[in-house]
Amino acid sequence: MRTAREGVLGARISIAAPDAVDFGTFHRATGAAFALLHRVEEAICAPRQGSSIRLICEGLLGAADLDGHLGGRENHEARELCETLRAVGERASAAWDGGGRAGGGQDRRGQNGRGQDGRGRVHAGQDGGVPRFDPREAVKCWAAERASALLAARGLTRHVLNAGGDLRLRSDAGAGAAWRVRLAHPPVTGGLLATLEIREGAVATCQTAERAASVRAPATGPGATGLTQVTVTGPDLARADLHAAAAMAQPTTARARAWLDRLAAATPYQALSVDTRGRIHATSGLAGLIRLEGEPAAGGSGQGTG
């Protein structure tokens, strides 16, 4: 496999494609994908003075005013993602309550999403504290999904993009074997939990240790579920990641698994969860994709092989 790796968006991002891919095509496509990821990081995750996300977080810019500002296009798309997730009750990324920042106050924005003081300055809240929109925690898998689409458009129609253990897998239409994704068993060091066979789609894993500080229940704040790991597979990596985080944010194991079962019945997303006793629960749609394992294996939460 041809591979390329870079550290960006707070994670180690790797891209792998078959050796048969022309080296020039691989180099140009991966270069464009990493450039996109760095642009998103600069605009949203490490915003410079004058960038749109910095102005939003400082209460100086409304969402309706994003056009024409540094990173405005990326923030428009991130806002649409978070708006969709909020609409279905998945506030797992805390994008709409200031990303966990201290301070706050009643929001006094008008219909254009802004409030103004006596001198016409825009602010986010009554005391200038919590901003209404901060998508930085939700952005890694969203950006990885965009990068994978760019890779396919640039000629890498079969590839795996690994974003810190969250995977986006693509195959040539009607050709090539399914990718085999090995999932680690969280309570067992070096243990292999399961193998998924996926031709096209995303695999996102949320573990207690990784998201304990950022996962929030949709209505009640920090979650208290007894799950140690949730893996969600489906067509879009950003949504799979947020579904996994939302399940971890449920108050009990039973409610988390019931929530995942309802998700699987109503959408293309399927899930595998592990509780603190090592008990495994898979949604019904995984039956043809998953094989539970017992032998040891190295690797992280997700690893794709051709």
Q: Which domains does the chain have, with CATH numbers?
A: 1-164 (no CATH), 165-305 (3.10.520.10)
According to the model, what pLDDT value does residue 300 have?
Answer: 38
- Provide the pLDDT for residue 191: 76
3-state secondary structure the chain: CEEEEEEECCEEEEEEECCCCCHHHHHHHHHHHHHHHHHHHHHHHCCCCCEHHHHHHCCCCCHHHCCCCECHHHHHHHHHHHHHHHHCCCCCCCCCCCCCCCCCCCCCCCCCCCEECCCCCEECCCCCCCCCCCCHHHHHHHHHHHHHHHHHHCCCCCEEEEECCEEEEECCCCCCCCEEEEEECCCCCCEEEEEEEECCEEEEEEEHHHHCCCCEECCCEECCCCEEEEEEEECCHHHHHHHHHHHHCCCCHHHHHHHHHHHHHHCCCEEEEEECCCCEEECHHHCCCEEECCCECCCCCCEEEC
Q: How is residue 95 written in tokens?
A: 């994008």
pLDDT for the residue numbered 201:
96
Per-residue pLDDT of the chain (306 residues; tens, 9 = 90+): 999 999 998 899 999 999 999 999 999 999 999 999 998 887 776 655 656 666 666 666 665 665 555 455 565 666 665 555 555 444 444 444 444 332 232 332 333 333 333 322 333 333 333 344 555 556 889 899 999 999 999 999 999 999 999 999 999 875 678 899 999 876 666 678 889 999 999 999 988 645 444 444 444 444 456 889 999 999 999 889 989 988 888 889 999 999 999 999 999 999 999 998 888 999 999 877 888 765 333 333 555 666
Name the DSSP class of 111: T
pLDDT at 225: 63
What's this model's pTM, rounded to 2 decimal places? 0.74
- The predicted pLDDT at position 74 comes to 60
3-state secondary structure at position 247: helix
